[in-house]
Amino acid sequence: MQKWFMHVDMDGFYASIEQRDHPELRGKPLIVGGKGPRGVVSAASYEIRPFGVHSAMPIAQAVQLCPHAIIVPVRMARYVEVSHVIMDILRGYSPRVEQASVDEAYLDATGLERLFGPIETMARRIKKDILDVTGGLTCSIGLAPVKFLAKIASDLHKPDGLSILYPETVESFLHTLPVEKIPGVGKTMLAALRTLGVEKAGEVRRYPRGFWERRFGKAGIALFERAQGIDRREVEPFTPPKSESAETTFDEDTRDTAFLKNWLFRHADRVGRSLRHQKLQGRVITLKIKYADFRIITRRITLAAPTCATQTIYETACSLLDHTPLEGKVRLIGVGVSGFDNHPHQLQLPLTATASEKDKRRATLDRVLDELEGKFGRDAVIRGRLFQGAAKTSKPS
């Protein structure tokens, strides 16, 4: 049976959602991202891309390229909400769906022709279902016999594209494929390849497998195999998360401990909510600090028991900060939780008999706030500490 991998990639996801939710933004050059001198473009609408604006670009540079750009803040909770809807659609077609990010996923489409007809028909049905259920959002789909080629194919005819690499066309496609399109080929490897006169994937075959292994190790073996269309990876329906984190880059560097702790609480709240939604608890709390000179330090502690409680995460992060003498002004601060149990599990109340009364109260409060948020939205109830707005603007990431 012919193997088929499908890669579904939403088109300008963040910007498209903003334009759908706010019709006055449709057709306008739109940037989704943090404002201020250190803000970064998280997403750019297709209307602004001809100006040279793209994601990960500093906002200041983007505004120079397109002075009439409209900038709106990131609404991650909204994008995740729409993402859940899209992933549910995909799981209605295949039991093997691997979510790669909030706006892309792989499907194992092998054998599904028996249910949905030719793979071309199935892909078009998925595109229509996503368009209809999301109220107008488009996606681009790539189909190929191996995983990495499906991802490359999905990017060939964006937006609203459909590209299929049939087995008999793979070799000719690779012959002219720029080598930097192969996953794993970064700037350093690309520079080395160019010194060897290797510009296209097909040119990798000039040298044997052993040459590439000696030159780049395991990465060289992967390069050699993928240049021949070999990719042994399968679709993995669930990959347990290794950590959950949130961080903020400030518009102005600071040593104000109260200000830093205010942001630690915001991050603890965001991380805690995400962990509870995923039914995860972690034992390791990590504090991340980036100084004005871009030096990064991390401090971590392992708790006696796993937690997903906002207040516990916050207090632990504050304790780490208190025991970390600041060596200069801080540019970024972040909080992470890791050391999860092996599998997600159902969180139950009351907690175990060994838990303190304080922990029980915290868990009850978190549960009530999460339920209110689920019913009435994020702004229905806001923790009192979050009303203490930061005195300086900043860019959460």
Catalytic residues: 104
Amino acid at 33: G
Query: What is the C-alpha separation between 194 and 179, in angstroms, rounded?
Result: 10
Element (H, E) at 321: helix 310-322
Residue 144 burial by Cβ neighbours in a 10 Å radius (0-12, 13-18, 19+):
buried
Both tokens of 310, joined, read: 């906002």
Residue holding tokens 């999301």? 134
Rg (CA), the chain: 24
Distances (CA, A) of 317 to 248, 303, 305: 14, 12, 16
Please say whether the dihedral angle defined by the alpha carbons of residues 163, 169, 175 and 180, taken in this order, is positive or negative: positive
Which three-class secondary structure state does DSSP give residue 76? Answer: helix
Residues 6 or more apart whose CB falls under 8 angstroms from that of 229 comprise 145, 146, 149, 170, 171, 174
Both tokens of 5, joined, read: 């991998």
Both tokens of 324, joined, read: 């970390």
Q: Could you give the maximum distance between any two Cα atoms of the chain, in Å? A: 68
Query: What is the C-alpha separation between 237 and 244, in angstroms, rounded?
Result: 19
Distances (CA, A) of 19 to 32, 76, 157, 234: 11, 15, 21, 35
Instruction: Give the number of residues written for the chain.
Output: 397
Kindly compute the dihedral angle of the four CA atoms of residues 27, 89, 74, 373, in this order, to the nearest 10 degrees: 130
Query: What is the C-alpha separation between 341 and 200, in angstroms, rounded?
Result: 44
One DSSP character per residue, 188-253 reads: HHHHHHHHTT--BGGGGGGS-HHHHHHHHTHHHHHHHHHTTT-------S-----EEEEEEEEEEE
